[in-house]
Copies of this chain bind each other. A is one copy, B any other.
Amino acid sequence: MLIDQQLVEKAEKLMPSLQTNEVEIQNIIEVIADDAAFQGWRIKQSMTPQEWKERSYGKNDSFIVDFGDHYVGYVKLAIKSVGSPPDAPLKLKLTFGEMPCEIAEPFESYEGWLSSSWLQEELLFVDVLPAEIRLPRRYCFRYIKVEVLDTSVKYKVAFDDIHCDAVTSGDILQVAALPASLPQDIVEMDRIAIKTLQDCMQTVFEDGPKRDRRLWIGDLRLQAQANYYTFQNYDLVKRCLYLFGGMRLEDGTVGACVFEKPYAHVDDTKLYDYALFFVSVLHDYYEATKDMDVLLELWPIAMEQLEIGVKRLDDRGIVADDSTWWCFTDWHDELNKQASAQAVLIYCLKHGRELASILGKQEHYKYITEKIQLTTNASMQYLWDENEGFFVSGENGQVSWASQIWMALAEVLPSELNALLLERLLEESPSVGMTTPYMYHHLIEALFLVGHNEQAITQMQAYWGGMMQDGADTFWELYNPNDKKQSPYGSNLINSYCHAWSCTPTYFIRKYLV
């Protein structure tokens, strides 16, 4: 690893103190199988919190509490015994769910390929009652299922309180109100998007506070953009830039993700597109803050990312393809990433050229301009299929949504043709589609870019509006309207239902609709 201790220390000095908000239970619920509901589960109130407090629970009794919204935080329970003095420990199982599926479908059934340790559960033994217990781990949830696995024949338990100390580094007071003229569904979508972003804003911009819980640069890019229009926590972006800049992989590449604990360290995952995004995140940050110090400090690293990206070009000026997980683009097994990687390179070269210009770095400006020309021309010569009217990718000339969207964002075609490309894309709808909100974000951004604002809004309303209709409290990592249990990890239980890259409706609404 290449460690720049000064940058890492600067990052650590920017560690935010989190806001805490005590949240009470709203309802005691049941989860009921219902084919018409999202993923086959709907919730129904079974008791008020007051009724629940008056009940006592013995061996094999259980209940589900509903906090009414999605939260990230620490849970406290106040438990007392009912009956004779407790003559054996209380054995409790807790199951936390962002969504009803996690409460209704047993974790034992999980066979996905991500670690089952992400499934949020606890087995607790309480030796002394009454007890006030603050669970030491952070959870991400709306629901908690509490199962009393055992007490003893001599006593039961009752719950005086369960609450959550919700935490975030996103201060809602910094978020401006939307104009009253906006339609209600847009206002609501903005609210949910902001809540999504807020729950992901901790001591870094996390990708998902339930699972992964770390800083990925692909998510950071979108979160930072949404943050500039909402919470305006510039220091948090700065901290994240320093973390990525301060800890790189052996060859100088910015890593794909960073862990914070027990001390800040970069993961060994390297992704072509993610490393290049260091340049665009830096550019976005500069535009939002005009913070020349950070730009001067991090520019050499950004420039190096462009040079490393360029190294992957073949003799023709095309990014070399690969069958491994070398470039993220989207969660899609069949997607060929070559054309989108080419486009991301051009996109980031253009961001880099802006920064070189701001900094007056003429040599860099010249180098970058040459590379933009080289890669743009090569794209038109080798990836553009005039007959199809689409960019193709890989050996087999795959036509995908991702390739067109990224080529549009890279503005490889002249402006009018760029708009036509997206029209054709929507009309012909190639079979290699989009999987994640991350990819949908880029479609919508591209539509706004070419001035097709109405279509952008329609797409956003269809996709994120679909999540809203399906009961989203926060926006999700994955959403396939045609397969609502889809997961890139083999189980919907492990999907993240509050995910950074899904927070951008607030960015679109506040940038293009206000």
Using Cβ atoms and an 8 Å threshold, which residues of chain B touch A137?
Answer: 125, 127
Give the residue among A114, A151, A212 with the most B Cβ atoms within 10 A: A114
A127–B212 CA distance with the chains assembled, in angstroms: 11
Is A262 an interface residue, CB under 8 A from the partner?
yes
Which residues of B sit under 8 angstroms from A151, Cβ to Cβ?
115, 117
In the complex, the answer to whether A128 meets B262 with C-beta atoms within 8 Å is: yes
B residues less than 8 Å from A131 (CB atoms) = 262
What is the chain B residue whose CB lies nearest that of A213? B127
Note all chain B residues with C-beta closer than 8 A to A261.
Answer: 127-128
Taking a contact as CB atoms under 8 Å apart, the answer to whether A117 and B130 are in contact is no
**Could you say which of A82-90, A161-169, A197-205, A431-439 contacts chain B?**
A82-90
Q: In the docked arrangement, what's the CA distance between A504 and B153, Å?
A: 31
Question: Please, which residues of chain B bring their CB within 8 A of the CB of A87?
Answer: 212, 214, 259, 267
Q: A153 contacts which chain B residues (CB < 8 A)?
A: 113, 115
Nearest chain B CB to A123 CB, angstrom units: 4
In-complex Cβ contact of A125 among B91, B117, B149, B259 (8 A) = B117
Q: Do A267 and B84 touch (CB < 8 A)?
A: yes
Bound: A294/B496 CA distance, A: 65
Task: Please tell me which one of the listed residues B84, B118, B121 contacts residue A88 in the complex, with CB atoms under 8 A apart.
Answer: B118
Q: Is A122 engaged at the interface, CB distance under 8 Å to the other chain? A: yes
Cα distance A259–B128 when bound, in Å? 10
Nearest-CB distance from A332 to chain B (Å)?
20
Beta-carbon contacts under 8 Å, A99-131 to B: 113-118, 121-123, 125, 127-131
**A-B interface, 6 closest residue pairs, ranked by CB to CB distance from nearest:** A88-B115, A91-B117, A123-B123, A89-B117, A115-B152, A128-B261
Selected A-B contacts with CB under 8 Å, 29 pairs = A84-B267, A85-B259, A85-B267, A87-B212, A87-B259, A88-B114, A88-B115, A88-B117, A88-B118, A89-B115, A89-B117, A89-B118, A90-B117, A91-B116, A115-B150, A116-B149, A117-B125, A117-B149, A117-B150, A117-B151, A121-B123, A122-B123, A122-B125, A123-B123, A127-B137, A127-B261, A128-B261, A129-B262, A131-B262
